[in-house]
């Protein structure tokens, strides 16, 4: 998802249930290929609440162009906040 989310960034994920609303352009976490957790942006939603997802670095992304649409049952949650971890300050 670089440049939006980089290695070392921390995310707060809102666990998905059917009460929560997922919208176009939200970043979601879902069970992808081989049940691996994946993080992608929703590009479109069809009438059956299936999601077409794409990575922000689309030239190097494995996304719906490779594995197809994502079903509601595969969604774990959506990213609601990105922040940087507090690093320990080393005393000199």
CATH architecture of 10-83: Ribbon (2.10)
Name the residue ranges covered by the structural domains of the chain. 10-83
Task: Tell me what pLDDT residue 51 has.
Answer: 94
Assess contact for 43 and 27: CB atoms under 8 A: no
Task: Tell me what pLDDT residue 18 has.
Answer: 61
Task: Tell me what pLDDT residue 1 has.
Answer: 64
Written as tens digits, the pLDDT of the chain (92 aa) is 667 888 888 888 888 776 568 899 999 999 988 888 999 999 999 998 899 999 998 888 899 999 999 998 899 999 988 887 776 555 55
- pTM (predicted TM-score): 0.80
Helical residues (DSSP H) of the chain, grouped into ranges = 64-67
Rounded alpha-carbon distances, angstroms, from residue 24 to 10, 45, 53? 22, 7, 9
Task: Tell me what pLDDT residue 7 has.
Answer: 80
């Amino acid at each position: 998802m670089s440049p939006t989310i980089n290695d070392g960034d921390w995310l707060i994920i809102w666990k998905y249930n059917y009460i929560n609303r997922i919208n176009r352009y939200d970043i979601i976490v879902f069970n992808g290929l081989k049940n691996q957790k994946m993080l992608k942006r929703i590009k479109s939603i069809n009438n059956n609440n299936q999601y077409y997802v794409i990575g922000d670095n689309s030239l190097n992304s494995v996304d719906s162009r490779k594995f197809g649409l994502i079903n509601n049952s595969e969604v774990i949650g959506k990213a609601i906040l990105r922040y940087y971890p507090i690093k320990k300050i080393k005393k000199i």
